[in-house]
Structure 1
Amino acid sequence: MTPPASAAVSLPGDPPGGRRAVAVWSIGVAVYFVAVIFRTSLGVAGLDAADRFHIDASALSTFSILQLLVYAGMQIPVGLLVDRYGTKRILTLGAVLFTVGQLGFALAPSYGTALGARALLGCGDAMTFISVLRLGTRWFPARRGPLVAQLAGLAGMAGNLVSTLVIARLLHGVGWTAAFGGSAVAGAVVLVLVALFLRDHPPGARPGPLAGPGQARGGAGVRAQIAAAWREPGTRLGMWVHFTTQFPGMVFLLLWGLPFLVEAQGLSRAAAGNLLTVVVAANLVIGLVYGQIVQRHHAARLPLALSTAAVTALTWAAVLLYPGGVAPLWLLVVLCAVLGACGPASMIGFDFARPANPPHRQGTASGIVNMGGFVASMTTLFAIGVLLDATGGEYRVAFSFVFLLEALGASQILRLRGRAARLERERLVRSRVEKVHVPV
């Protein structure tokens, strides 16, 4: 009987792993950690931003929408750039951009200037996660791929926890400018670490070129690179898994969770902040569990993703349909714990794209997958803001939009799952017969 891919032993061409791999990879993860702090800092400052810039719900959501629009739009270009130029250069550029963006947001005198700063932050943020994923594939053996990816995601959630606990307290302790401006120092620190210590790959290893064998270079090569990644059912399945599972938790943490808990559920800001912490804590725990499960049982990927989406939809329905419109605290805690599973479930999308693409397309394929969840998040952020303004602040109507996108994503997952699984099995059998290993 053929063992599952996750149980594969190390094969020729596998990166070495080890302590040096952990040290180098940790530097990349630190950059992503800081990027997420900056990305999610608006989530604890939404009400303050509305007061500071004198804006309504739609204008407030534009901050996050623009940031995610830039982020999502950059995913494929960043994937191509990482494949061509390597991790170190792209992470360096990303750290510069998101640090300048965070500092600009701290000093912004007007709504328009603040929007520009968030766009710059989104551009730099977009360069971090795909770079970290690729760094992991260059330094760790293939069998560690699912766990390494989940651990990178956990670092992002730890950044979210920092913004929830630290930025929120700084904001109300030292004020807007000092809180956001002071946090920008962390960007300068990781930039120095990248410049001094990060390496793209282990000594003696060389990453493959942007173009695979027989591919053209230049604009034609870029188009061929994107088209080849998109044609793979595993890439598209991964994108729809990411689309369906990530956005409910992202939207809640990034902007609308705090206003929903305070204005619709009647909680104090302190209590609402504690519930946001539940989302982050649940994410950290569930991420470790999902990473171990997928590493050991590859077939569990799709059941985990679909069950997470289903439980998320059911829990939201229970909260929104609760008589009187105000859910009990225990149900809100359950909701936040369930939303904590959204991030780990979205990471499973990358586990479909990795085996479907050769090494020279890994960054491009990861960019396509990562774009899925952020397109869904951006769309939902905008829709909730518009619906809140249109209904006079009716959160039950606004958050019902979540069900629409989850249904769309689930239908696409079910449509693509059969073909993607068949092609993955064929590649696994062929790689074993030929003793050729395709690294994650």
Structure 2
Amino acid sequence: MQEAFKDFINGPFFFMKEKKLLIAISGGVDSVVLAWLCHRLKLEFSLAHCNFNLREEESNADEEFVIQLANTLDVEVFVQNFDTKAYVDSNKCSIQMAARELRYDWLQELAGQLNYDYILTAHHADDNLETFLINFTRGTGLNGLTGIPIVNENIVRPLLYFSREEILNYAQSQHIEWREDSSNSGRKYLRNKLRHEVVPVLKSINPQLLDIFQDTINHLNDTADIVEESLNAVAKRAITSIDEGGITYKISEFKKVNNPKAYLFEMFKEFGFTSWRDIVNLLDAETGKYVSSNTHQLIKHREFLILSDISHSERSHESIQISSEDKMVQTPIGKLIFKVVNHVSEKSKNTIYIDQDKLNFPIEFRLWQKGEVFQPLGMTGKKKVSKFLKDEKLSPFEKEHTWVLCSDDNIVWVIGKRADDRFKITEQTKSILKISMT
């Protein structure tokens, strides 16, 4: 195994040579063997151990073992203790998910602070098969069946082509000591059930299972590359704009393909959507219909679909009170400038001139509210703000983020759109107030 590992380091993992490496080590046979393999190739590395404090004295014994191993290998070691159960309670997640998040967040923070080039984990071929089966049993798309990536940004898994049996045999032949995690023998978690009950049966049916599986993974990754290329081509044609309002897609481009549902799934699966039939129905829905996930919203707007972050589309309740003494006020959309002038000069959508004496200070800056009306400049009657914004052909995001300036309960200005006729300058005006948004 040592020679095979050396060939990998001189071959596909050549980029690790002469680099500063951080090995995530639990004390189990996989990560301990990885540390010894790197040591014998004289790679530059340190160890990083997470104590999740889930197995009482056993967890502490693991920590002591890793510290002793670092002394034996004459490398630096970092140890971080976590209150994993408290993290589970506060984040409402499983123990496994908590440990994963805590582990990778800390490793990335450590690597960033101390300038490590790569983080090495000891995932191997059996882990890859188990992950495939987990995703398969839970339901997934093509990407969920392509296995654990060998390299994912600065995460490298140099043992991914080796089996658990090969790693164990190497450790025993080299008289390498390691720690056994008692929780691995249980059946509480799905991975353990697959490891102890399903995978052995599959291997008994086909002793070459891992080799066949690796070939399958390679074929699936090749297929994934083709799918990605096709998706990129459709996305390039469909996306018309990307801005603070979200990403806008032309519906016609989805209707041109043979299987719109498949493209919609691949395009939007990363945003937490689950109601795929409803998303397909958006293609022919009326304007204003939408589908939401926990984090995003997909809205039908005329001939477009607009993907937006829910945190951006939630209406703010922020309100700013402005006194007659204020000359400049900072708002979420820029600066409001107030200036008394003698005459009207330049006009633009971001500047209005009104009769100051018609204002009742303090005036209010806020988002418009459902049911509100105003009298657009030049009109004799009132109009609902919602109808005005619809006639302006604004996108749902633009409608949601339209601000108004109010005096008492009366709208003075739909900012950037239209002033209210009731506050306009007349022959009787004695004080002209210029209001600009910059």
Structure showing greater relative contact order (alpha-carbon pairs closer than 8 Å, 6 or more residues apart): 1
In terms of fraction of residues, the more strand-rich structure is 2
In terms of fraction of residues, the more helix-rich structure is 1
Q: Where on the TM-score scale, by shorter chain, does this alignment land: which range? A: under 0.3
- TM-score (normalizing by structure 2): 0.22
Which of the two has higher C-alpha Rg?
2
